[in-house]
Amino acid sequence: MTKPAVELTIVGSIGIDTIETPSEKREEILGGSVSYACAAASFFTHTGMVGVVGSDFPQEFRDTWSTMSIDLEGLQTVEGKTFRWGGVYHKNMDNRDTLFTDLGVFESFTPELPAAYRNAPYLFLGNIHPALQLHVLEQVHNPKFVLIDTMDLWINIAKDDLEKVISKCTMLTLNESEAELFTGEHTLTQAAAKLLELGPEYVLIKKGANGSMLFTKDDIFLLHAYPLDSFKDPTGAGDTFAGGLMGALCASGKTDKEAIREAMVYGSITASFGVEEFSLERLTQLDRDEIEIRVAEFKEMCRI
């Protein structure tokens, strides 16, 4: 039986996390940007994972991805230890402190795309060194839409490479503090204007529990977050949002502004499910019908 073509390639980190919240602590659970993003995208399209794990990586985590029909041909397994991260969340669940970061095999990770991934029309480059993001862009063949994510570390130590990769992407996503750090501007509209000058068509600024904002040179789109009564773990919410967005956009087959706005809604709703449990636990129990029901509820809430 022929495997379905990979329509969306996602590149990023894979980790084993230890997470403590005000109410619970969980050790040695599946994490990493590519884990969350691929899981979210898998509800909408056939997704290829590009990342690296060590020889200590549990088989049960691979099985989790397989049950979600994520293509693992791009997954590298290298002798050594898998990337590990530990963090503790404050009472507001917005702020957290990193307790430890052990890069393991991720420190020497060089993403290499299988041939089947190189023609994928949609590409999401998760939060890895911008030089590696550029390396991936050299391997792909005329993608229709490229989303890149970044963080304050790369803004501080690799800004030149970051500017190069931003100039080659369709959309840049980052959070409020990163936008301010990158541009030196204190309003999001001014920060976005500077970032758009670097070349992307869209800048998506994530605002956590306050939703997100999509900027073009012509207009702004505001998206609220779905209101939850409670949630367990915000880790990976931004990657789940981005993965759901890219998966839904890929499923639409479009790249226009209206399609992106619709895809943002699906990304936000998928992320709202993800934070209800730790790791991918809620996403593995989720189905497309549940997503559609919550999307409809959310649109009704926002209707004018």
How much is the pLDDT for 89? 94
pLDDT at 3 over 80: no
Structure letter (DSSP) for residue 68? T
Pick the CATH number of 8-302 from 3.40.1190.20, 3.40.50.800, 3.10.450.50, 3.30.420.40: 3.40.1190.20
pLDDT band at 1 (very low <50, low <70, confident <90, very high): low
Dist. CA 256–CA 268, nearest whole Å: 18
pLDDT digits (tens, 9 = 90+) for 122-133: 999 998 999 999
User: Residue 205's beta-bridge partner residues?
Assistant: 174, 213
* CB 176 within 8 Å of CB 190: no
Query: Structural domain boundaries of the chain?
Result: 8-302
**Segment 209-230 mean pLDDT:** 94
Q: Is 225 helix (H, G, I), strand (E, B) or coil?
A: coil
How much is the pLDDT for 294? 98
Token look-up 């702004």 returns 220
Of 273, 277, 281, whose CA–CA distance to 298 is shortest? 273
Lowest-confidence region among 94-103, 128-137, 290-299 = 94-103
List the structure tokens of 197: 């000058």
pLDDT band at 211 (very low <50, low <70, confident <90, very high): very high
Q: Are strands 171-175 and 75-78 parallel, antiparallel or unpaired?
A: unpaired
φ, ψ for residue 14, nearest 5 deg: -125, 130
Give the number of C-alpha atoms closer than 13 A to the C-alpha of residue 98, restricted to the C-beta side: 5
Dist. CA 70–CA 64, nearest whole Å: 9
pTM given for the model = 0.96
For residue 196, count CB atoms less than 10 angstroms from its CB and return exposed for 0-12, middle for 13-18, buried for 19 or more: middle
List the structure tokens of 46: 């056939």
The mean pLDDT of the chain is 95
pLDDT digits (tens, 9 = 90+) for 160-170: 999 999 999 99
Dist. CA 213–CA 221, nearest whole Å: 6
pLDDT digits (tens, 9 = 90+) for 245-292: 999 999 999 999 999 999 999 999 999 999 999 999 999 999 999 999
Assign residue 80 a region (left: φ > 0; alpha: ψ between -120 and 50; beta: otherwise).
left
pLDDT band at 83 (very low <50, low <70, confident <90, very high): very high
* CB 210 within 8 Å of CB 7: no
**Segment 39-57 mean pLDDT:** 98
Q: Which residues, in sequence order, are CB contacts of 31 under 8 Å at separation 6+?
A: 14, 15, 16, 17, 19, 85, 235, 236, 279
How much is the pLDDT for 242? 97
What are the Cα distances from residue 205, in Å, to 50, 77, 211, 249, 280? 24, 33, 9, 18, 24
Give the amino acid at 89: Y
How much is the pLDDT for 113? 97
